[in-house]
């Protein structure tokens, strides 16, 4: 309860990593997560490459949404 109260009063208590590290994390997630998902679907589910690509596209929508949200946070941090 104390954490919630102080977070609401003073903003987030946890410090964000520097901009370069955050962009590196976003780049690695955007570059490697779809490849790993595609590889796992193709090899473990034993489907065709095209079908694995279709499933990967659907499963990567939440990843893209999360990345867009983080980039939007960064944009608003720069404006202040």
CB atoms within 10 A of CB 49: 10
Q: Is the pLDDT of residue 58 over 90?
A: yes
∠ Cα 11 12 13 (to 5°): 115
**Pick the residue with more confidence: 29 or 7?**
29
pTM recorded for the entire structure: 0.67
| pLDDT computed for residue 17 by the predictor | 76
Q: What pLDDT digit, counting tens, does each position of 29-38 carry? A: 999 999 999 9
Give the 3-state secondary structure of residue 39.
Answer: helix
Q: Is the dihedral of CA 37, 39, 42, 45 positive or negative?
A: negative
Token couple for 78: 């720069």
- pLDDT confidence band for 1 (50 / 70 / 90): very low
């Amino acid at each position: 309860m104390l954490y919630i109260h102080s977070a609401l009063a003073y903003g987030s208590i946890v410090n964000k990593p520097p901009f370069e590290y955050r962009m590196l994390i976003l780049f690695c997630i955007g570059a490697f997560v779809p490849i790993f998902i595609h590889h796992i679907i193709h090899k473990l589910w034993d489907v065709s490459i095209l079908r694995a690509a279709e499933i990967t596209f659907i499963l990567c929508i939440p990843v893209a949404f999360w990345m867009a949200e983080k980039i939007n946070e960064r944009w608003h941090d720069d404006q202040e």
